[in-house]
Amino acid sequence: GVRLEPHERFVGLVLRPNREAVWVVPALEAEAVRESGLAAIVYRDGEDPVQALAQAFFGPPAALFVEKSVLSLARAEALQGRFPGLRFLDATPAVVRLRRKKDAAERERLRAAAALADAVLAEVLPAIRPGMTERAAAALLEARARARGAEGLGFPPIVLTGRRTALPHGVPGEV
């Protein structure tokens, strides 16, 4: 029930021996964790997240589960410097399994989001005219989504024309 957007900032969940879960999060994500009712150790930009993580443990950890594709070498070295002998175990398979599992409420939200996206496209596509810029079409798409109840989009809309359609992550321009 916690949705975070850590981007390049460290986020960790420490499961303590007494089964108490403690999040280690940047200040930008503190409210999302607190709303879930879970404990959080918060660090601010400019502070060392490894120091914040150390506060979450009752003693030095022997091993740490991480998403191998997410943890940077710099962060891994900082953790091993703070906790000599620390071993990293790849949590990716377990995390992937958990992300795949959807309860009825999650499935309903996905269905509603897909229906909203279909309705928005059905409304926007006929409104696109020759001479309309990619940026204007993208703005129209976002405005129609919000008008239909979307809180926002999962990522900025990618609206591209002509040769630019070959850019899978292109940014809409004044074309």
Q: What angle do CA 41, 106, 146 make, to 5 degrees?
A: 90
**pTM of structure:** 0.56
What whole-number percentage of the chain has pLDDT above 70?
96
| Tens-digit pLDDT profile for residues 72-109 | 888 888 888 888 888 888 888 888 888 888 889 889 98
Strands 87-90 and 63-66: parallel
